[in-house]
Structure 1
Amino acid sequence: MLLGKLSCLLGLCSLTAGTILQNGQVRITDYPDTKIEISSYDFRTYDANATELSYKGRWDSKKVSWWSAPGLVFGFTGDTVAITFGELTTDTTLIGYRIGGMDWTFTNVTASTTHLLASPSTPGINETFPITPMTFELRVTNWAYGVQIDKVHVAAGESLVKIPPHQRTVEFIGDSLSAGMYTSYEGLSSFAYGVGAGLGDAEYYVTAYPGICVSDQDCWGNPRGQVHQWFYASDTSWRAAQIWGDEPEPWAFEKQETTPDIVIINLGTNDNNAANNVSTETYVDAYKKLIQGVHGKYPKAQVIVMQLWMGFYSYGNSYQQNLGYEQELKDIVSYFNSDEYLSAPTIWDGTTNTTTVLDAPSESFVHYFSTKGIMQHNDIGPQWHPTDVGAIKVASHLTQFIKLTFGWDLVATGPEIFHETLYWNDQQNY
């Protein structure tokens, strides 16, 4: 999505560590200081590549996190968990962490330090009727920052436990709208996260980064578009340039813990902006190639193409939703469901920029999701992105679309999804 300044896109416009603004005012936050001196504890230590650890989303071979809301999940015995973050961790990165389905707790972590993230007093530990094994989950909130996992520690004599992956998987490919830019907890307040976590019993990957186009060109400081970058482990951030330079690491699709059953694409807001000078023909060609790339990597996946929303504009004495590439996106969906494509499907590889025509025919796999009427003008913030409420609206409607279209049951019946949205009024007379 369009940003006011390139510096904000690069993540350089933060006020202070942990600052969250609510309608221009600073929200009071009281994040615990979890940093500890490791020599003061008696730990059993595991390396970052321990088989008991499950990395969610995209992490490279250095165990550095990328894109939006990447996570780490594992089971453990005992009542203690600590993590040592590597030198490639961005200082003061805000992470969310929790036991099982308890509410998220947040803390800022720093490079080359150890943080105590679970102890006997942590919610979810020492419960009367515990769910065993206890599950620990960590998620990186900020789309521009990242962490590197160096070591994971549990109490001496205790152990990590491998948690099997969920049976269903959904992946989002997008820009700032999917990444959660300007929502309270960014990645953990985005509509994409809301769908993935809200489905329950589902893995979710949010391969999204602010400002990026689907077209393979510079857009708001992103040197490449998703038609290329989706095939790589790292995003298009300044961190990626520092760590990987001009030779990013291709994403190891074959090593993913699970293969997506559904891929949801929301791209084109940045292509549609005149400042990026993307022709309609270029946009359509890149979008088609991205779907062809998804079809090549995930032959059995269903693809959902989301109708774009471009904010709202005044219309008489009301407002109208601004749209972009509406007919083009409908035509793209029609193309992939046509005999022309299904009889001789073409797949695309963004690492080699090559297409391959398959002999075997395909079945219809591309769907269109309309966003009309879901949000109203006050669901879009001053920086043209959904508010927390707007993101929840989109997530709710898209979740129901998935349920109705693919028959997926909704099985998340209690765990917290969106943090700090419990607003209410219990004053009767006012």
Structure 2
Amino acid sequence: MAQKPVTIQNSDPLIYFHGRWDASPGTWWAGSGFKLNVKNLESLTLNLGPHTTAPFASIGVSLDYGEFITANISQGSNPIPILVSSNERPDTHTTVVRVNVEGWQNNRINLESVTLNPGASLVPYIPSKLAFQFVGDSLSAGQFLPKGVDQAWPFLVGEAFKAEHVVVAQPGAALSDIVSFGNEHGVSFQFFRTEDTGYFYTTDHNFTTPWNFARDEPAATHVVIHIGANDSAQNVTDVQFVQVYTEFIARLRTIYRHQPIFVFTPWGWPNPDGTVSQYFEGQYQKIVDLRHASGDKSVFLVDTTGWVSYADVFPENVHPNIPGHQHIADKFQAWLENWGLKPESRWATPV
């Protein structure tokens, strides 16, 4: 008798979810997704429910830590190309499958189940002991990049360190809890919610729910913040910005009690003549100094001055281009290594 395909329900504890998922379960925020460790993998189909973005959502799929390849998926059954075969490998071989939504909008996948080939089975995925939590806006979310967040500097840094990484970043959003470029709330509010700021326009889910940080497994070991461009654009004053940023870090400390927090200065907006337009100059140092004065010595300033030139950005919107994001990732990796953090020597789940 022929074996039947294997169906994995969304409640299976061997699915390793990362990022922000609601109860449906459905994704919010760029980069949210899941990981599978599959024995004897030959085929994979994602079965998605009605909360999936129509007409499709773009996802990145990586096998055995290889390059993320884009697939456009929609409600219903979605076969995912798999370029491995158990006929070519021993039955004991496992394949790590990583899936995440690429976009900062139109990024909802409502996972109902996963169908695997007959004879396949899930085994535990072991997460890295190193985990980054990135916080930001369009400069971190991968806006304007062909593969979205998968080509953005936070994602690249996470990959370089062989770490788990979650990116909570929304284009147009200020840190201050104000309306900004279509965002009803700022990141100082939205970071603590399951939903990204796009919830406001989503008819089937136009509300927010608190995020349960206990669901982040492992909890972030390092927190990285790069934000402020949209506060500046909305005429938030230096004094107001320092206050909201300082209060935000204080609230983060109720969750990340001892983890290092890295505060990026802006790299600014490069101009064709080689000059760089800046915002909130000197204020990020004040924020860090205030935390130090309060006794919190685990907040560190990352001075990004000179990291981004005009060649590193798209001329039409002055956001980093693909080489620009790689350049930023390389700079920050070097900064972190000099600070004392080294990449993991291997991924925690072997292949």
Aligned equivalents of 1:378 and 1:43: distance in 2? 50
Secondary structure at the counterpart of residue 113 of structure 2: strand
Report the counterpart of residue 223 of structure 1 in structure 2. 184
Alpha-carbon displacement from aligned partner over 1:48-91 (angstroms, at most 9, x marks no partner): 12101011111122221111111210111222221101110102
Secondary structure of 1:393's counterpart equals: helix
- Secondary structure in structure 2 of the residue aligned to 1:395: helix
How far apart in 2 are the matches of 1:103 and 1:230? 28
User: 1:297 aligns to what SS in structure 2?
Assistant: coil
What is the CA–CA distance in structure 2 between the aligned matches of 1:239 and 1:154, rounded to whole Å?
36
Which residue of structure 2 aligns with residue 232 of structure 1? 193
Question: C-alpha separation between the residues in 1 aligned to 2:26 and 2:86?
Answer: 28
Q: What is the deviation of 1:401?
A: 1.3
Q: Deviations over 1:205-239 (max 9, x none)?
A: 00001000000010101011111110001100157
1:46 Cα offset (Å): 1.8
* Count, aligned residues: 341
SS of the aligned residue for 1:57 comes to strand
In structure 2, do the counterparts of structure 1 residues 227 and 75 end up closer, same or farther at CA, with 3 Å as the change threshold? Answer: same
Cα distance between partner residues in 1 of 2:137 and 2:23: 24
Cα distance in 1, alignment partners of residues 345 and 11 from structure 2: 31
- C-alpha change, 1:126 and 1:328, in structure 2 (3 Å) is farther
1:132 CA displacement: 3.5
Question: 2 CA distance for matches of 1:218 and 1:406?
Answer: 39
Cross-structure match for 1:262: 222
Q: Is the 8 A contact 2:184 2:200 kept in 1?
A: no
Q: C-alpha separation between the residues in 2 aligned to 1:47 and 1:395?
A: 36
Alpha-carbon offset, residue 172 of structure 1 = 0.5
- Cα gap change, 1:378 to 1:257, in 2 (>3 Å): same
Distance 2:8 2:61 in 1: 19
Identity rate, percent: 23
Cα displacement string for residues 397-417 of structure 1 (whole angstroms, at most 9, x for unaligned residues): 11111122133235479xxxx
Q: Give distance in 2, aligned partners of 1:52 and 1:395.
A: 31
Unaligned residue ranges in structure 1 (runs of 5+): 1-40, 343-362, 414-430
- CA deviation vs aligned residue, 1:335-357 (integer Å, no higher than 9, x gap): 1112xx11xxxxxxxxxxxxxxx
2:28 to 58, 66, 71: 66
Based on CA coordinates, which of the two structures has the bigger radius of gyration?
1
Question: CA RMSD, aligned part only?
Answer: 2.1
User: Counterparts of 2:90 and 2:249 in 1: how far apart (Å)?
Assistant: 46
Task: Report the Cα distance in structure 1 between the residues aligned to 2:324 and 2:165, rounded to whole angstroms.
Answer: 20
Corresponding residue for residue 161 of structure 2: 199
Give me the whole-angstrom Cα distance separating, in 1, the residues matched to 2:92 and 2:218: 24
Q: CA deviation at 1:240?
A: 6.2
- Displacement after TM superposition at 1:278 (Å): 2.0
- Judge conservation of contact 1:215–1:226 (CA < 8 Å) in 2: yes
1:172 aligns with 2:134: yes
User: Contact 2:267/2:278 (CA < 8 Å) preserved in 1?
Assistant: yes
- Scaled by the length of structure 2, the TM-score of the pair is 0.91
Code of the residue aligned with 1:207 in structure 2: it is V
Between 305-314 and 47-56, the greater mean CA deviation after superposition: 305-314
Does the 8 A contact of 1:174 with 1:209 survive in 2? yes
SS in 2 for 1:249: coil
